[in-house]
Structure formats: structure tokens, C-alpha cells
Amino acid sequence: MLIVKALHVALVVAWFAGLFYLPRIYVNLAMVPPESIAERERLLLMAGKLYRFMTPLGGLALIFGLWLWLGYGFSGGWLHAKLALVVLLVSYHGHCGMLLKAFRAGGVQRSHVWFRVYNELPVLVLFAVVFLVVLKPF
């Protein structure tokens, strides 16, 4: 079971790297002047590749997390809270994909400031999850 736990943690770390960096690309996309077509296309290419890379990592992290849940059992309010945060992260991941489609279609009207704030959400969730898992406060 320790191998499963180690794989889960490593996959979560890799998934979070994508969750941290993809919105940062969106910050840059929101700042691209309309006449900079090559820069926009390069950033869209980077964002697309990152999203396609991080999606299976997130899926595998969820699979290994489910394996741990089934192996150790479901107990404690802290785990309910953690699962709620995981649902939030999966939703955030999906929203990042929707934003990528909108950027490709040229329909994103949000400012780079909005994306800078948006970029911080996974950091806050990461802190909350780590504290829940380590401290098991309830």
C-alpha cells in the first residue's frame, strides 16, 4: 500500500505543477496584444500541450487516491473535507480546459489581473489539503 501512496503523492505533485502553470500561461495570453499573432499561437500551443499532459496525471492521481480510500477505508471528517477540495480541483481543471477552448476561439474577455488571482486558487487548496491530511483535525 505504501507504493500506491507514493505513486498517489507523486502524481498529485505532477498534476499540481500543471494546475499552477496553466493559468500562468493564461495570464500571458491575456496580455498579448491583438497584433502579436505568433506570440498568441505559441502560448496556445504551450497551453494545449500542458493541458493534454496534466489531464492523465490528474486522472491517475484520482485513481490511486481511490485505491487508497478503498484500501484504508473512509473515515473521519477531514477526509470528507479533503474529498470536497478534490472535487473543487477537478472542477478547476475542467474550467481550465474550458478557458483554453475560449482562448482558442478568441472569446476570453478577462484581464491578466483576473487570471493572476485565478492562478492562486490551487495554491490555497493545496495548503488546505496538506493540512487536512497531516493534521486530521476532525
With beta carbons less than 8 A apart as the criterion, state whether 95 and 49 touch. Answer: no
Question: Distance from CA of residue 64 to its chain's centroid?
Answer: 16
> How many CA atoms lie within 13 Å of 6's alpha carbon, on the beta-carbon side?
3
| Span 37-91, pLDDT tens digits | 999 999 999 999 999 999 999 999 999 999 999 988 877 899 999 999 999 999 9
Contacts 24+ apart (CB under 8 A), 43-46: 44/100, 44/103, 44/104
Q: What per-residue confidence (pLDDT) applies to 75?
A: 79
| Span 18-34, pLDDT tens digits | 999 999 999 999 999 98
With beta carbons less than 8 A apart as the criterion, state whether 67 and 2 touch. Answer: no
Nearest-angstrom CA–CA distance, 115 and 122? 12
Q: What grid cell was written down for 105?
A: 476561439
Domain count, the chain: 1
Range of the domain at 101: 2-135
